[in-house]
Structure 1
């Protein structure tokens, strides 16, 4: 898909174009353009294009395995705050791809409202990345100036075959973790006198509640359609497909407002024994 978007383009082709774009600013512009085109009906609700196996990436930042990433500290100094903002910008950059991949890869399995939701998430993530990069530049840095985590696309690869697994892991584990840790990060930035960055992070936090809510909503939709009990099935999928650990502290109120209640995640954190090994097979 090149040039202006029109009715001849389907939403899957538009999503794939966003994924393939490697330049950060061009990806942001294209993500916003696709979201606008979808809202005004300039893209058809059709899925004739396969999503790429991996998204485009810029030459910088250098991508490192998690165990080779330098420690960032807690953001007490300006250098520490820059490192933390850079890490968050990288997460938001990857989140653009995760949202558009969700819409383009799985949209045919759902009502049109599913695409509405995840295209809106992709536009949010593009905005988040842009404001974080702008803030980094105001602080004398910028996206790409520091190394970044290489493993953020692993969740997409692991769940590429299964919409329910993707919903379980990406919005309901990875984004939900942001709800747990962001309020403390906002407080540390304010304590350090960086109110501008704190306001940016608070805006991202409020948007992420909605994103987690979309995950919970569409996970529930599939569970209801398959006569599946949601919480135990979610835990099974997380055990099978998530390589990390679901652990406290949890922001129970923010999670609950997104529809992700403690009966989903608390048993995992408490070491629930129910067929954990069998579920991984």
Structure 2
């Protein structure tokens, strides 16, 4: 591929020159603490790769900086049970929900970037898939963060928890475990939860927020499908039976217990088989 120009990545706040290779650049943006700048950089990175301005080294073993992912000083991270619940009949309560969703999307950007840089020796299509996920999560984050502003708040104004990234840390040594437990467990849980959250926002007459959740649900079905596709690929490559493998990994890594309600239609659309859902006691 041709060497890239740096115009798409030039910004006075950057402390070093961004790399020209996709996986290294994904690590660069993963380490970026500014949420808005990270989202912008990820969007431009995907376009640069599609425009053949970035190379791809699938074999390189990269070393991360001491502190990843990069995060802003706020929001304050607390234990999940310490995140305050606020009444949905107040602007503050609805804003806290939008903030929680924005934080999930911010973490999802980091998770997708981590999937790109961390795991070598995957097919090019794998890196393209997770690059797409990163860009779409950045889009979701922007929609939610912008909506927060219309409500008089900013991303960082409420506390948040870090459980989504904690599971990523547990699975950092094995791409199979990562594909099994992050998109197929944590992100799939978003498919289950989104319809009820959308209904609450619509009932509160926040139609703009409800429409953002429609976009997120549409795209997240695709993201879970990507996780399912690469989990299946890796199981076939390693000659593992997918249902048994998933159950064993869930126990080994202490994945969160799945709880109803379940969005069976969305899960099927995302590539889960009826047999898998039955084994998970979902259908």
TM-score, normalised via structure 1 length:
0.89
Q: Deviations over 1:214-260 (max 9, x none)?
A: 00001001111122111111111122114421122211110011111
- Identify the range of structure 1 (59-68 vs 139-148) with the bigger mean alpha-carbon deviation: 59-68
Give yes or no for contact 1:235–1:264 (8 Å, CA) kept in 2.
no
Secondary structure in structure 1 of the residue aligned to 2:257: coil
In structure 1, C-alpha distance between the alignment counterparts of 2:136 and 2:22, rounded to whole Å: 17
Mapping of residues 1-281 of structure 1, within 5 Å: 3-4=6-7, 9-46=20-57, 47=60, 49-52=62-65, 54-73=68-87, 75-106=88-119, 108-269=120-281
Report how many aligned residue pairs link the two structures.
267
Secondary structure in structure 2 of the residue aligned to 1:149: coil
Deviation at 1:7, TM superposition (A): 11
Deviation at 1:269, TM superposition (A): 4.2
Give yes or no for contact 1:76–1:189 (8 Å, CA) kept in 2.
no
- Identify the range of structure 1 (49-58 vs 91-100) with the bigger mean alpha-carbon deviation: 49-58
In structure 2, C-alpha distance between the alignment counterparts of 1:224 and 1:134, rounded to whole Å: 42
Q: CA RMSD in A?
A: 2.0
Give yes or no for contact 1:189–1:195 (8 Å, CA) kept in 2.
yes
Flag structure 2 segments of 5+ consecutive residues without an equivalent: 10-16
Q: Measured at CA, do residues 202 and 59 of structure 1 come closer, stay the same or move farther in structure 2, by a change above 3 Å?
A: same
Q: Measured at CA, do residues 7 and 142 of structure 1 come closer, stay the same or move farther in structure 2, by a change above 3 Å?
A: closer
In structure 1, C-alpha distance between the alignment counterparts of 2:265 and 2:86, rounded to whole Å: 28
In structure 2, C-alpha distance between the alignment counterparts of 1:98 and 1:60, rounded to whole Å: 19
Q: Deviations over 1:95-127 (max 9, x none)?
A: 101001101112x33210111100000000101
Flag structure 1 segments of 5+ consecutive residues without an equivalent: 271-281
